[in-house]
Amino acid sequence: MPIFRRENGQLAAVPGNYAILDQTGKLSTEMYGILGTIYVISDSIMLSHDAEEQGAGGGVYVETKTISLDLLFPSPSTLRIVFEAKRGASITTNARIYKNGVVHGVSHYPLSTEYVTYIEDLEFAQGDTLGLWTYDEASLGVWVRNFRVLGSKMLQFSDPDSIFPDCLVGSNS
C-alpha cells in the first residue's frame, strides 16, 4: 500500500511499500490516528477485464463485459473506469458504463476503426457490478477491450495534514 504526502497542495505517492511502526516495531494504527483505508483515483490497475470482445448488435444495448467490486473498500468511492472501443463497418455504435444494470456513465460513440480510450471517474460501492454495454445498430461490429478499474488504496488519518516521515520504514521497492 503506498503512503501519500502533500506536495504543492496535492497528494503524491511516496515510492515503495511502507509500514507504519510504533516504538516496539509493531504495526501501528491507533498511535498515529489511522482511521482506515480509502481509495483515491490514480492510474494503478485494481481490476481488469482486458480481453477483446465484440458486442452483439441488432439495435439493442448488450452487456459485453462485467467487473464485480467484491473487494473490501470504504463505500462509496470514486474510481476511474477506463476502456477502449472501436467500431467495425457499422456506422452507429455506442459503448457506456452501467452500475448494477442501470446506466451510470455517458455514451461514447467510437467513430474510428482504430481503438480509442475512454475514461470516466464514477462513484461505486462495495458489491456493485460494473458493466460495459455496447450498441451496434446493424450487427457490423463494435469492439471493446481493456475494461479497467483504476485507483490506489491509501491510509486515512484523523488529521489528514499530519505527515510522519520518521515513522516510514521498511521500503521494499
Q: H or E segment at 122?
A: strand 116-124
What CATH number corresponds to the domain at position 63?
Answer: 2.60.120.260
What tens digit of pLDDT does each residue of 44-57 get?
898 899 999 988 77
Q: Within this chain, do residues 4 and 56 fall inside the same structural domain, yes or no?
A: no
The answer to the question of residue 39 being in a domain is: no
Characterize 26-61 residue by residue with b for buried, 16 or more Cβ atoms within 10 angstroms of its Cβ, and e for exposed: eebeeebeeeeeebbebeeebbebeeebebebeeeb
Nearest CA to 165 out of 5, 10, 24, 40 is that of 5
What tens digit of pLDDT does each residue of 69-126 get?
876 556 678 889 999 999 887 678 889 999 999 999 899 888 888 999 999 999 888 8
Q: Within this chain, do residues 79 and 130 fall inside the same structural domain, yes or no?
A: yes
Domain housing 171 = 1-33+158-173
Q: How far apart are CA 110 and CA 83, in angstroms?
A: 12
Sequence letter at residue 10: Q
Give 16 or 90, the one with higher predicted confidence. 90
Q: Residue 131 has what pLDDT? A: 95
Nearest CA to 73 out of 13, 131, 151 is that of 151
C-alpha cell at 142: 463494435
Residue 144 has pLDDT above 90, yes or no: yes
The answer to the question of residue 69 being in a domain is: yes
How many structural domains compose the chain? 2
What tens digit of pLDDT does each residue of 159-173 get?
545 444 444 433 344
